[in-house]
Structure 1
Amino acid sequence: MPRAYIPKVVTANALLEGDVIYQTATGWSRNLAEAEVLTDEADADLRLIDASQQHDRVVGVYLADVDISGPTPKPTHFREDFRARGPSNYVHGKQEAPKHV
């Protein structure tokens, strides 16, 4: 019996900024909650191929497993959890507190 397909998102790094980004149905986002969750292996492969050809926007494109049991997708691997939260060397970017508070 074949294993069930684990849902995935297409992720990469933005070419110019280096930020972690996720493919949405209409483009790219820096927010994992906005990522297009792929539940079909053939569809995921096609989306990966499409993303891999966007050399002017992204580098390091790959599929990352996600857990979709909650309201938003969550990383299933610690590496992806680190990437989703932002750099860990000091507080900046995604980890920085909003300036208006």
Structure 2
Amino acid sequence: MLVKAKGPLQSIAANRLTDGVAVWLGNGGRWVERVGDAAVFQGPGIEAALAEAAAAVKAQLVVDTYPIDVEVRDGETVPLHMRERMKALGPSVRPDLGKQAEPSPQKPAAAA
């Protein structure tokens, strides 16, 4: 684990085992591909979320689970560390690919 989460609000990051895609623990225990959809945990909820993530590792759904510091902006979960922001976007060498190329529910797609 490279990022040491210390803040009061945290989410759980991982990689899906089948294809390596970055995912985050969402509401209801499902793994989501958009960090903006990640569930936010605080206090004892963080330990419970980590236990849920450990169960997903054991079930071979995800690997490399760890907590990340987040905040909520306009109803979306936003990572506080640059590494996690980059991970959420996809490949940084090709902004026309990956998650950064997809329109956000909060911002419309660019006109062609």
TM range (shorter): 0.7 to 0.9
Pairing 1:10-21 to 2, within 5 Å after superposition: 10-21=12-23
Aligned to 2:100: 95
Aligned to 1:82: 86
Render the CA deviation track for 1:66-94: whole Å, top value 9, x for unaligned: 02254312111111111111122334221
1 CA distance for matches of 2:85 and 2:68?
10
Aligned to 2:48: 46
Cα offset, 1:97, TM superposition: 5.3
Name the stretch that deviates more: 58-67 or 43-52. 43-52
2 CA distance for matches of 1:83 and 1:14?
13
Q: Do the aligned partners of 2:89 and 2:98 also contact (CA within 8 Å) in 1?
A: no
**Runs of 5+ unmatched residues, structure 2:** 1-5, 104-111
2 CA distance for matches of 1:97 and 1:29?
15
Is residue 32 from structure 1 mapped to residue 35 from structure 2 by the alignment? yes
Q: Which amino acid aligns with 1:95?
A: Q
Task: From the superposition, tell whether residues 24 and 92 of structure 1 become closer, same or farther in structure 2 (CA, over 3 Å).
Answer: same
Aligned to 1:62: 66
Q: Which amino acid aligns with 2:10?
A: K
For these two proteins, the number of residue pairs brought into alignment is 95
**Runs of 5+ unmatched residues, structure 1:** none
TM-score of the pair, normalised by structure 1:
0.80
* Moved beyond 4 Å, runs of 4+: none
- State percent identity of aligned pairs: 27
CA-based RMSD of the aligned residues comes to: 2.1
Render the CA deviation track for 1:11-37: whole Å, top value 9, x for unaligned: 100111111101112211001121111
TM-score of the pair, normalised by structure 2:
0.73
